[in-house]
């Protein structure tokens, strides 16, 4: 029986990963969560994990309810003996436990794009040393991973990430009056608030382009974004002969989670008979309305710690927007200001965390 660790178990991805574990009959040996006591309590009661990480404020209640459970840090949960760790703690907070999982040599099903964006070369260095596999869970990167199977790198012309376009694809033309409620109303995916706002600004697609650069180690010039409102084609690979390979399927993260957990096996799921849409559209992104996508590409071209800086700044800017302190259109402006002032430093673990802290303070100046 495959043993699995879920980092971020009470979030949307974590709960869907547990659903896949039910389908597959996997043993869940570790759970790392935040402050959602009721959901975490239900998960502990069902899965009886060996170790649990949670916000310290929950420890007293968890000890009272589950005296046999060992409370640990997320890094200790990540290091448990298991075949796979699902890394789904959002933001840069997910980087240390992701790093801990990689260091133990297990497969990491990566659902935290910020970890790869901020520390891709460093994580690959640790994976080479430990023998760990890093497999993508994001639908777009899973699609590219699947389309690249059996192909030669030298035959690849470009990787194409698709974006649904978010809630503002068709309007309004003036985004300055957009409210948090409007931005959180995504037409295709049900996700956490931060990534949903990132989808509305298209910065999420910028992060995914940077993630693709680090995951697959192709230059940013060979990574494109196309708007695909039906969200049925998740990613395409164009080859030098002009042929395209794509992965198509329903917009359901359980499909991509199962692929990362069971790879190379493909097992049946309840999704296998869903209908195929009759129309598939592909549009170029509008960078004037959604400049955050261009900021992400600019950070990718800068290299060094620039990707760390814009990723951290985005967390601050999105939080300020959701709290009503800045308008929607201010988010890309904050990112551009932070990028403009980012120091030119090489990417090291020490510089990464220092620049992350600096960028958050710098972003607060503009947010």
Comparing 190 with 290, which gets the higher pLDDT? Answer: 290
Average pLDDT over residues 301-320: 95
Average pLDDT over residues 83-103: 95
pLDDT, residue 81, reads 97
Residue 291 has pLDDT above 90, yes or no: yes
75-89, 181-195, 273-287: which has the minimum mean pLDDT?
A: 181-195
Residue 166 has pLDDT above 90, yes or no: no
What is the phi/psi pair of residue 183, to 5°?
Answer: -70, -30
Residue 195 has pLDDT above 90, yes or no: no
Where do runs of H (alpha helix) occur along 263-305? Answer: 292-302
pLDDT, residue 188, reads 72
pLDDT, residue 171, reads 86
pLDDT, residue 113, reads 87
Return the exposure string of 52-73: e unless at least 16 CB atoms fall within 10 Å of the residue's CB, then b.
bbbeeebeeebeeebeebebbe
Residue 189 has pLDDT above 80, yes or no: no
Preceding amide of 8 cis, omega within 30 = no
Average pLDDT over residues 163-186: 90
Task: Look at residue 56 and give its three-state secondary structure.
Answer: helix
pLDDT tens digits, residue range 113-152? 889 999 999 999 999 999 999 999 999 999 999 999 999 9
pLDDT, residue 5, reads 98
pTM: 0.93
Tell me the HSE value of 101 on the side-chain side, using a 13 A CA sphere: 33
Average pLDDT over residues 103-119: 94
pLDDT, residue 149, reads 97
pLDDT, residue 191, reads 76
Average pLDDT over residues 183-191: 79
**Separation between Cα atoms, residue 6 and residue 86, nearest integer Å:** 5
C-alpha distance from residue 285 to each of 202, 218, 295 (Å): 9, 21, 14
Instruction: Provide the token pair at 53.
Output: 């990480």
**Separation between Cα atoms, residue 102 and residue 75, nearest integer Å:** 11
**Separation between Cα atoms, residue 342 and residue 302, nearest integer Å:** 10
């Amino acid at each position: 029986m495959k043993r699995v660790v879920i980092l971020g178990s009470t979030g949307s991805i974590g709960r869907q990963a547990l659903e896949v574990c039910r389908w597959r009959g996997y043993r869940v040996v570790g759970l790392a969560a935040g402050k959602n006591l009721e959901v975490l309590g239900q998960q502990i009661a069902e899965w009886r994990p060996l170790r649990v990480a949670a916000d310290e404020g929950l420890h007293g209640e968890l000890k009272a309810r589950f005296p046999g459970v060992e409370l640990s840090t997320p890094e200790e949960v990540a290091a448990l003996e298991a075949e796979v760790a699902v890394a789904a703690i959002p933001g840069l907070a997910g980087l240390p436990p992701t790093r801990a999982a990689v260091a133990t040599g297990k497969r990491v099903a990566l659902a935290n794009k910020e970890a790869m964006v901020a520390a891709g070369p460093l994580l690959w260095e640790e994976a080479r040393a430990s023998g760990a596999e890093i497999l993508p869970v994001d639908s777009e990167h899973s699609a590219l991973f699947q389309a690249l199977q059996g192909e030669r790198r030298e035959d690849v012309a470009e990787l194409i990430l698709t974006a649904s376009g978010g809630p503002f694809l068709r309007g309004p033309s003036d985004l300055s009056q957009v409210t948090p409620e409007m931005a959180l109303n995504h037409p295709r995916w049900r996700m956490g608030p931060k990534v949903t706002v990132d989808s509305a600004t298209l910065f999420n697609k910028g992060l995914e382009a940077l993630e693709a650069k680090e995951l697959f180690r192709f230059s940013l010039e060979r990574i494109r974004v196309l708007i695909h409102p039906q969200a049925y084609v998740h990613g395409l690979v164009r080859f030098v002969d002009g042929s395209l390979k794509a992965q198509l399927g329903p917009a359901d993260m359980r499909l991509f989670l199962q692929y990362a957990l069971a790879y190379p096996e493909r097992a049946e799921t309840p999704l296998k008979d869903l209908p195929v849409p009759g129309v598939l559209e592909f549009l170029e992104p509008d960078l004037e309305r959604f400049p955050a996508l261009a900021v992400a590409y600019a950070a990718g071209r800068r290299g060094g710690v620039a990707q760390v800086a814009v990723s951290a700044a985005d967390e601050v800017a999105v939080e300020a927007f959701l709290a009503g302190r800045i308008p929607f259109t201010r988010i890309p402006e904050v990112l551009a200001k932070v990028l403009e002032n980012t120091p030119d430093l090489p990417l090291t673990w020490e510089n990464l965390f220092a620049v992350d802290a600096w960028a958050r303070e710098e972003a607060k100046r503009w947010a």
